[in-house]
Amino acid sequence: MVAPSHDEIVNAPKALLHDHLDGGLRPATIVELAAEIGHRLPTTDPAELGQWFADAADSGSLERYLQTFGHTVAVMQTAEALRRVAAECALDLAADGVVYAEVRYAPEQHLDRGLTLPQVVEAVLEGFAEGTARAAEAGRTIRIGCLLTAMRHAARSMEIAELAVAYRDAGVVGFDIAGAEAGYPPTRHLDAFEFLQRENFHFTIHAGEAFGLPSIWQAIQWCGADRLGHGVRIVDDIADGRLGRLASYVRDKRIPLELCPSSNVQTGAAASIAEHPIGLLRDLRFRVTVNTDNRLMSGTSMSREMALLVAAFGYGWAELQWFTINAMKSAFIPFDERLAIINETIKPAYAKLIASA
Ligand SMILES: [Zn+2]
């Protein structure tokens, strides 16, 4: 059997559930948008800037890592800039062979130049629609759903949850909370999660990345999260292949884990790709999905993440299909639409790839 190459993986359909809009800008776009508003960057050479982002994310310093978002968020403060960034996001994902993506961002971080929360949401939705249409013209079909994120250190989660529900028929498919885990437990935002449950809406919670099992336990058992953003520390409840009660619950309930291999290594949640718990969690048949998190900061793409796993764990097309179907099953769009993408797009493509390998 020949291992799938990066180029072959690009042409295989993929589904992505965890990708940050402000973590996936093109370096050249940052340079242009920064020039328009007079924002100072570490360098105005796009190649050097891309490297600066990767180096800062690799540095092991949380301070430097967070500085990177200071620059991307700074250039995403007008409707025009948000539309452009969202359109390019759709185009870049489609060019990478992603057929379904949920892209998230925090509307409250884009109000510095006078936009209102609804104006932010509408600009991003317009950008995704434009990018999706341009991708289709180029022969690439992609569907994008939006997740609205509230920052866990702030106090606007209820407002953002209401905003997400208000735009549920316009392309917002879910809600999320993100930001520093330690000291900001998800239970601080219980009212928002209870509201979303009463509205029959979907949400995921960043939990179990920097912080361990208590964060995962709260996200699931107190807040009712449908999925776990990362959730990689669930391995702390597994010893010698034996599952503790929380790990058992997560596996039994098929709670999706949004694992982001390169990002998890950069933040220290995993020592290396080869030592990433994704290998163990897959062997134990958790509902594992593969994601990019921040394509710019990690210098990555869906295809690259999968190619890294192929190299580290010897995965073939069957495993890549399994990750892809796991993600599609766990998406926040309606069941019949998920099924259509699985049966009409994903399965036929991988059947050919598996037969030819
Ligand atoms: Zn994330």
Query: How much distance in Å is there from the Cα of 334 to the middle of ligand 1?
Result: 23
Q: What is the predicted pLDDT for the residue at 31?
A: 98
Intra-chain end-to-end CA distance of the chain, in Å:
6
3-state SS, the chain, equals: CCCCCHHHHHHCCEEEEEEEHHHCCCHHHHHHHHHHHCCCCCCCCHHHHHHHHHHHHHCCCHHHHHHHHHHHHHCCCCHHHHHHHHHHHHHHHHHCCEEEEEEEECHHHHCCCCCCHHHHHHHHHHHHHHHHHHHHHCCCCCEEEEEEEEECCCCCHHHHHHHHHHCCCCCEEEEEEECCCCCCCHHHHHHHHHHHHHCCCCEEEEECCCCCHHHHHHHHHHCCCCEEEECHHHHHHEECCEECHHHHHHHHCCCCEEECHHHHHHCCCCCCCCCCCHHHHHHCCCCEEECCECCCCCCCCHHHHHHHHHHHHCCCHHHHHHHHHHHHHCCCCCHHHHHHHHHHHHHHHHHHHHHHC
Q: What is the predicted pLDDT for the residue at 216?
A: 95
Q: Is residue 254 part of a domain?
A: yes
Reported as a single tens digit per residue, the pLDDT across 286-304 is 999 999 999 999 999 999 9
- Tell me the pLDDT band of 210, cut-offs 50, 70 and 90: confident
Query: How much distance in Å is there from the Cα of 326 to the middle of ligand 1?
Result: 18
Mean pLDDT over each residue of the chain, to the nearest integer: 95
Q: Is residue 275 part of a domain?
A: yes
CA dist 291 and 257 (Å) reads 10
Q: Is residue 1 part of a domain?
A: no
Range of the domain at 314: 6-356
Q: Is residue 219 part of a domain?
A: yes
Query: How much distance in Å is there from the Cα of 178 to the middle of ligand 1?
Result: 7
Known catalytic residues are 209
Q: Is residue 235 part of a domain?
A: yes
Stronger pLDDT, 2 or 52, i.e. the higher one = 52
Reported as a single tens digit per residue, the pLDDT across 336-349 is 999 999 999 999 99
CATH code, domain with 13:
3.20.20.140
Reported as a single tens digit per residue, the pLDDT across 152-167 is 888 899 999 999 999 9
Torsion of CA 51, 54, 59, 65, to 10 degrees: 120
Classify residue 320 as exposed, middle or buried by CB count within 10 Å of its CB (0-12, 13-18, 19+): buried
Residue among 153, 177, 164, 141 nearest 20 (CA): 177
Query: How much distance in Å is there from the Cα of 265 to the middle of ligand 1?
Result: 13
Work out how many domains the chain is built from and give that number: 1
Reported as a single tens digit per residue, the pLDDT across 92-149 is 999 999 999 999 999 999 999 999 999 999 999 999 999 999 999 999 999 999 999 9
Q: Is residue 29 part of a domain?
A: yes
pLDDT reading at 319 higher than 90:
yes
Query: How much distance in Å is there from the Cα of 357 to the middle of ligand 1?
Result: 33
State what percent of residues in the chain have pLDDT above 70.
100
Reported as a single tens digit per residue, the pLDDT across 155-209 is 899 999 999 999 999 999 999 999 877 788 888 899 999 999 999 999 999 998 7
pLDDT reading at 267 higher than 80:
yes
**Phi, psi (degrees; rounded to nearest 5) at 293:** 65, -85
Q: What is the predicted pLDDT for the residue at 48?
A: 97
Query: How much distance in Å is there from the Cα of 204 to the middle of ligand 1?
Result: 10
pTM beyond 0.95, yes or no? yes
pLDDT reading at 262 higher than 80:
yes
Query: How much distance in Å is there from the Cα of 233 to the middle of ligand 1?
Result: 14
CA dist 32 and 35 (Å) reads 5
Query: How much distance in Å is there from the Cα of 330 to the middle of ligand 1?
Result: 16
- Tell me the pLDDT band of 268, cut-offs 50, 70 and 90: confident
